[in-house]
Amino acid sequence: MDVSLSLLIHIALLSSLCFAEDAYVFYDFKLSYITVSPLGVPQQVIAVNGAFPGQVLNATTNDNVAINVHNQLDENLLMSWPGIQMRRNSWQDGVLGTNCPVQPKKNFTYQFQVKDQIGSFFYFPSLNFQRASGGFGPIIINNRNVIRIPFAPPDGDIVILICDWYTQNHTALRTTLDSGGELGMPDGVLINGKGPYRYNTTLVPDGIPYESINVDPGKTYRFRVHNVGISTSLNFRIQGHNLLLVETEGHYTIQQNFSSFDIHMGQSYSFLVTMDQNATTDYYIVASARYVNESVWERVTGVAILHYSNSGGPATGPLPVPPSDIYNQWSAMSQPKSIRQNTSASGARPNPQGSFHYGSINVTDTYVLQSLPPLMIDGKLRSTLNGISFVNPDTPFRLADLHNVKGSYKLDFPNKPLGRTPHMDRSLINATYKGFIEVILQNNDTRMQSFHMDGYAFFVVGMDFGQWTENSRNNYNKWDAISRCTTEVYPGGWTAILVSLDNVGVWNLRVENLDRWYLGQETYMKIMNPEENGDTEMAPPENVIYCGSLQSLQK
C-alpha cells in the first residue's frame, strides 16, 4: 500500500468516528464478597450483582455503554475492560496509570463506546490481585444486523470461563508474593465458577457442585471460552466433539476443527460445536493445566458436563486425553501459528477484515521487550521488562499532565534490553502517534506468558523459540496474521506483533500472568497527537476521580 492509500484509510476510519445517535446500554454492577465453596472449602469470592462469575455485558457494535460500578468491597477497586478499544478515551480503561481507584462504599460510572468492534472479551477487577478472587465476567459485542457473520447463525450462545484457582483468597496470595514467595501449584481449575464433576472418586471429593451445559441433539452452539485465571495455560476439550475455531478477541478466523485447544491467560476464543454424537451418555468438558508435568498437576483439572436433552446417562470412564506433545514444544507451537484471520470475512465493518494491508506498511519503530524471571530489587522480589520493574503512580499520568504535576513519570522506557542493573521506575514508552510499530516480546522467563495491550488490537506476525534477530522478520506472516489483543509468548521464545498507533491516550502494556504483573512486569505507551485537529484525546469525564497530588480537587 502506498502512503496516500494508507492515509485515506486513516481518514476513512477517523471520519467514521463522527457518526452520532448510536444506542446506549446501561448496567449497574455491585461488586461484593459472597461465600462459596467451589473446591469444597468455603471462601469469600468477589461477586458481581451477587453472582460468581459475573453476568454477561452484552452490547452491539457502536453502542455506547454505561456501567455504574459500586464498590462494596473493603478495598479500592478499578474495573477493566480489556480488548475494548475506548478510542481516544483511556480515561475509562480501569488501570492505575489512567484512573484513580474507586474507594470502598463509592461508585463510578464507566462510559465508553464499542466503536467498530465485535467479538468475545471479558472484564475483571485490575487492582490488588482481586482477579484471583473473582469479579470477572464475559463481554459479548454482537455484529450489527446489516453485517453478516461468516457462519450460519448458531442455535445458541454458551459462555465458558475457565481459570486456575486457589482456596486462599487474593489477600492471602498477595501476602505470599509480598514476602517474596511463589504461589505454587493451584488447588484446582474452575469452569464457570464451579469445581470439577466427580469423574474420579479418589481425586474429587463428594458434594462439589459442577457446571452442566444443556444442549439439544443436532444443534450447533457458539462456545465462547475465556481463560480468566492467574497463571496457568489451560487445554480445553469436549469429549467426542470437534471445536470449530471461528473467532478470537474481535476478529473472525479461518475456520478449522480442533480436538483440543490451548487457551492462555487472558485469551478469549469462539468455537462452533455441533451436537453430532449419539448421546449414549453425557460428555466431559475438560480444562487441564498445560506445559507442566501433568501427572504432578493432575488436580489442576476442571471438568464440566455436556448434557444432551436425550442423554442416556452420566458420563463415565477416563477423561479425554490432552495432547501428548508437552515435551515437544516446537510441535505445540504449531497450533497458535495456525490461527489466522479470514481476510474475506467482514468484521465490525462491511469491508473485509483483510482490507487493511498491514504487511505493506513500513515499520517506524521497533521495541524489543525482554522479560526475565523475578529477581531481588532493593530487597524485594520483583519482575521486570527490559530491566525495569514498574511502579504504579499515585496520580494517573494524564491527570498529572493536565494539572501540571511535574515529575510523576519519565518517558524514557528503553526500546531494547540494555543490560543495566534492574531497577524500579515509572518509565513510559514515548510512542509516536500514527507510527506503525513492531514489538518483540522476548520471554527469557521459565514460564509460558501472555501479553496484553490496552486500547489496541495487534497483528501477531511471528512466534518462535530462541532469540529474535532481524533475520526472524523473513518468516513473518505479512498477509493474514490474526489481529487480537492478547498473545502467548513461549518460555525461551519470542512473539512479534505489529501495531498501528492510531488511538491517542496512555495505554497499558502488560503481562497477563497475574503474579508477574503484580510484581511489576508492565509499562504504558503514551501516544499523543501533536496537532489540535479534533483527533486529540477526549477530555476527562465529568465524574473523573482525583487522587494523589490532586486529591484536593475531589468534590
Residues that bind ligand NAG (CB under 6 A): 2-3, 33, 44, 56, 58, 68, 107-109, 140, 142, 150, 157, 169, 171-172, 200, 202-203, 242, 244, 254-255, 257, 274, 276, 278, 280, 293, 295-296, 298, 318, 342, 344-345, 362, 411, 430, 432, 444, 446, 467, 491-492, 543
Task: Give whichever of 12 and 411 is closer to ligand NAG, judged by the CB atom.
Answer: 411
User: For residue 44, what are the β-bridge partners?
Assistant: 35
End-to-end CA distance of the chain: 51
Q: What are phi and psi of 471, to 5 degrees?
A: -65, -20
Q: What is the dihedral of CA 304, 170, 166, 513, to 10 degrees?
A: 80
If the CB atoms of residues 212 and 430 are measured against ligand NAG, the closer one turns out to be: 430
The alpha carbon dihedral of 400, 401, 404, 406 has a sign of positive
Residues 6+ apart with CB under 8 A from 209: 38, 194, 195
For ligand NAG, give the closer residue by CB, 319 or 378.
Answer: 319
Q: Tell me the closest approach of the beta carbon of residue 436 to ligand NAG, in angstroms.
A: 10
- Which one-letter amino acid corresponds to residue 140? I
Closest contact distance (angstroms) between CB of 200 and ligand NAG is 4
State how far the alpha carbon of 195 is from the alpha carbons of 135, 163, 510, in Å: 17, 10, 29
CA-to-CA separations, 298 to 7, 195, 322, 488, 506, in angstroms, rounded: 53, 14, 12, 23, 41
Q: Which is nearer to ligand NAG, 36 or 391 (CB)?
A: 36
Closest residue to ligand NAG using C-beta atoms: 44
Residue environment code for 400-413, b if the CB has 16+ CB neighbours within 10 A, otherwise e: bbeeebeebbeeeb
Smallest gap from residue 380 Cβ to ligand NAG (A): 22
Question: Strand, coil or helix: what is 474?
Answer: helix
Q: Which is nearer to ligand NAG, 348 or 379 (CB)?
A: 348
HSE-CB of 104 using CA atoms within 13 angstroms: 5
C-alpha angle 126-131-137 in degrees, rounded to nearest 5: 95
Which is nearer to ligand NAG, 212 or 242 (by Cβ)?
A: 242
- CB of 512: closest distance to ligand NAG in angstroms? 18
CB of 327 to ligand NAG, least distance (A): 6
Strands of the 268-274 sheet, one edge to the other: 188-191, 156-165, 220-227, 268-274, 243-248, 251-258
Nearer to ligand NAG, 327 or 379 (CB): 327
Cα–Cα distances (Å) from 209 to 84, 177, 193, 205, 371, in that order, read: 33, 30, 10, 11, 39
**Residue 415 CB, nearest approach to ligand NAG (Å):** 12
In the bound state with ligand NAG, the residue whose beta carbon lies nearer, of 15 and 362, is 362
- Report d(CA 444, CA 387) in Å as an integer: 12
Q: How far is the CB of 256 from ligand NAG (least distance, A)?
A: 6
Nearest distance from C-beta of residue 453 to ligand NAG, angstroms: 19
Minimum distance, C-beta of residue 542 to ligand NAG, in the bound complex (Å): 8
Nearest-angstrom CA–CA distance, 42 and 48: 18
Tell me the three state secondary structure of residue 336.
helix
Nearer to ligand NAG, 296 or 553 (CB): 296
| One-letter-per-residue 3-state SS of 162-196 | EEEECCCCHHHHHHHHHCCCCCCCCCEEEECCECC
Listing DSSP states for 368-416 in one string gives EEEE---EEETTEEE--BTTEEE---SS-HHHHHHTT-TTS-BS---SS
Complex with ligand NAG: residue 273 or 379, whichever CB lies closer: 273
Q: Are strands 137-142 and 119-125 parallel, antiparallel or unpaired?
A: antiparallel
Place of cell 492478547: 486
CA distance 45 to 53: 9
- Residue 107 C-beta: closest distance to ligand NAG, Å: 4
Q: By C-alpha distance, which of 121, 118, 137, 116 is closest to 30?
A: 137
Element (H, E) at 524: strand 522-528
Q: Which is nearer to ligand NAG, 42 or 379 (CB)?
A: 42
Judged by CB, which is closer to ligand NAG: 510, or 526? 526
Q: Measured from the CB atom, is 264 or 447 closer to ligand NAG?
A: 447
Give the CB-side neighbour count of residue 235, counting CA atoms within 13 A: 24
